[in-house]
A and B are shown apart, each in its own frame.
Chain A
Amino acid sequence: SYDLTQPPSVSVSPGQTASITCSGDNLGDKFSSWYQQKAGQSPVLVIYEDTKRPSGIPERVSGANSGNTATLTIRGTQAMDEADYYCQAWDSGTAVFGGGTKLTVL
């Protein structure tokens, strides 16, 4: 089965840049998506097709995908960005999620 690996946690100071990685075999050959899940809420799509932002997602949120790693970058991190983030891709018709990364804004 296909696996996506994320770091369990990332910490960032307010106003700084947070980067969350997602690793998988030849992930760059697939489209990746990212979801933000705040405590007690449903996940929300923040990046799809590697780099695209749904309406309502600020420009300071961006994505990239190349080689074996997809990266979610949040510039000018704010307290409201504190959440769990999940990457997701499709492999052989099966949707796979990463284990999630808890972003803490210190």
Chain B
Amino acid sequence: QVQLQESGPGLVKPSETLSLTCAVSGDSITNYYWGWVRQSPGKGLQWIGYIYYIGSTNYNPSLKSRVTISVDTSKNQFSLSLNSVTTADTAVYYCVRIWGGNTRFDPWGQGTLVTVSS
């Protein structure tokens, strides 16, 4: 059974870069697409983007200018980088497996709260 585990700093200062990593276990990262979804406190879900193991990416147009998703097949993990953060980027960040790159998100990681504050 595949499991995803997010890791990274829980506190980031405004204007700095948010960096998270998702470790994948129970499946090879070369078999699927992998992505990130975030949820602001008390709010709904927002798709951030995804990556395929060969490095091809697709990002939410509203975040595209600030987002980079990368993959490390040797470590079976992928990462999120979001630059120039503001308090509006405070959210729980989930890593997810995406079937076919355009269908369902399953499963989800446990999520990690990132707070943007000085």
Chain B interface bracket (under 10, 10 to 19, 20 to 34, 35 or more): 20 to 34
Q: Inside 8 A of B111's CB, which chain A residues have their CB?
A: 42
In the assembled complex, A33 has its CB within 8 A of some CB on chain B? yes
Assembled-state Cα–Cα distance A85/B110 (Å): 17
**Contact B58 A45, beta carbon cutoff 8 Å:** no
Secondary structure class of chain A's binding surface, majority of residues: strand
Q: Is the CB of B44 within 8 A of A94?
A: no
CB distance from B49 to the nearest CB of A (A): 9
Q: How many residues of A contact B (CB 8 A)?
A: 22
Give bound CA distance, A83 to B73, whole Å: 36
Report the separation of the CA atoms of residues A90 and B103 in the bound assembly, to the nearest whole angstrom.
7
Per the bound structure, the CA–CA distance linking A11 and B107 in Å amounts to 27
The one of A1, A42, A49, A93 in contact with B94, judged by C-beta atoms closer than 8 angstroms, is A42
Q: In the complex, which of the residues B44, B103, B107, B110 contacts A100, with contact meaning CB atoms closer than 8 Å?
A: B44
B46 at interface, CB cutoff 8 A:
yes
Given contacts A42-B110, A43-B94, A94-B60, contact A33 B45 (CB under 8 A): no
Contacts of B61 in A (CB 8 A): 1, 94
A42 contacts B109, C-beta separation under 8 Å: yes
Interface string of A24-68 (1 = CB under 8 A from B): 000000010101000000111100110000100000000000000
CB atoms of A98 and B104 under 8 A apart: no
Residues of B within 8 A of A98 (CB): 44
State the Cβ distance, B57 to closest chain A Cβ, in Å: 11
In angstroms, Cα B94 to Cα A88, docked, is 16
Q: Is B102 an interface residue (CB 8 A)?
A: yes
Q: Are A48 and B44 in contact (CB under 8 A)?
A: no
- Give the docked Cα–Cα distance between A88 and B99 (Å): 14
Residues of A bordering B, CB below 8 Å: 1, 31, 33, 35, 42-45, 48-49, 54, 86, 88, 90, 93-100
Can you spell out 11 A-B residue pairs with CB atoms less than 8 angstroms apart?
A1-B61, A33-B103, A42-B108, A43-B108, A54-B106, A86-B45, A93-B58, A94-B47, A94-B58, A95-B105, A99-B44
Enumerate chain B interface residues (CB-CB to A < 8 A): 35, 44-47, 58, 60-62, 94, 99, 102-111
